[in-house]
């Protein structure tokens, strides 16, 4: 899969090979030779950029509903604390500080479960109500009720926009 870029100034016929194209003698161009294993997408054809209705480049796609993100994260946090899920499975949705905090809480919960006579029971978790407030643009704070077999718990989550998606910057479970 050898690809080689050469500048063609004088003789466009000087460069030949699989996937080659010719260039007019008056034209200076960047030429890429590709063998049969080079995917067609690797050619140098420019890709048009999308344009908005007013002629400008469109903005980033809108963020998903923070209530849905908070609901999914609250369920994941409950599963982490019951031992049904690993903290690293949600790492892309939480900050490093939240990840460290959840690792500590999960370790403490695992110790508590090991002392319990019901430690082999599969957790039954369902999400109840979700309340979201938007204190400012790019920030959402949510409280989510999570029901387990034994009781209901509240999960408080602060979501902030980071790189075009919601990330949890703080999570607390009562």
pLDDT at 70 over 90: yes
Count CB atoms within 10 A of the CB of residue 102.
24
Q: What is the pLDDT of residues 81-106, one digit of tens each?
A: 888 889 999 999 999 999 999 999 99
Q: What is the C-alpha to C-alpha distance for residues 6 and 54, in angstroms, rounded to an integer?
A: 39
Q: Which domains, ranges and CATH numbers included, belong to the chain?
A: 4-40 (no CATH), 66-115+123-173 (3.10.450.50)
- Secondary-structure breakdown of the chain: helix, strand, coil percentages, each rounded to the nearest 5: 30, 30, 45
- Band of pLDDT at residue 54, cut at 50, 70 and 90: low
pLDDT at residue number 101: 94
Tell me which DSSP letter residue 90 carries.
G
Q: What is the C-alpha to C-alpha distance for residues 159 and 173, in angstroms, rounded to an integer?
A: 15
Mean pLDDT of 70-78: 94
Which of 57, 78, 83, 60 is closest to 166 using CA atoms?
A: 60
**CA count, 13 A, side-chain hemisphere, 136:** 1
Between 162 and 58, residue with greater pLDDT: 162
Q: What is the pLDDT of residues 6-51, one digit of tens each?
A: 333 444 334 334 444 444 444 333 333 444 444 444 445 555 555 5
Query: Is the entire prediction scored with pTM above 0.85?
Result: no
């Amino acid at each position: 899969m050898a690809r080689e870029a050469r500048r063609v100034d004088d003789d466009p016929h000087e460069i030949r090979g699989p996937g080659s194209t010719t260039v007019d003698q008056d034209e200076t161009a960047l030429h890429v030779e590709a063998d049969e294993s080079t995917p067609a997408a690797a050619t140098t054809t420019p890709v048009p950029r999308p344009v908005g209705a007013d002629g400008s480049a469109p903005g980033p796609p809108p963020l998903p509903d923070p209530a849905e993100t908070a609901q999914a994260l609250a369920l994941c946090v409950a599963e982490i604390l019951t031992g049904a899920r690993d903290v690293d499975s949600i790492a892309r949705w939480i900050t490093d500080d939240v990840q460290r905090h959840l690792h500590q809480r999960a370790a403490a919960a695992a110790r508590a479960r090991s002392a319990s006579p019901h430690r082999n029971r599969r957790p039954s978790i369902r999400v109840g109500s979700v309340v979201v407030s938007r204190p400012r643009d790019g920030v959402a704070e949510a409280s989510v009720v999570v029901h387990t077999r034994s009781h209901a718990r509240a999960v408080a989550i602060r979501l902030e926009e980071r790189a075009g998606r919601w990330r949890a910057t703080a999570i607390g479970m009562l």
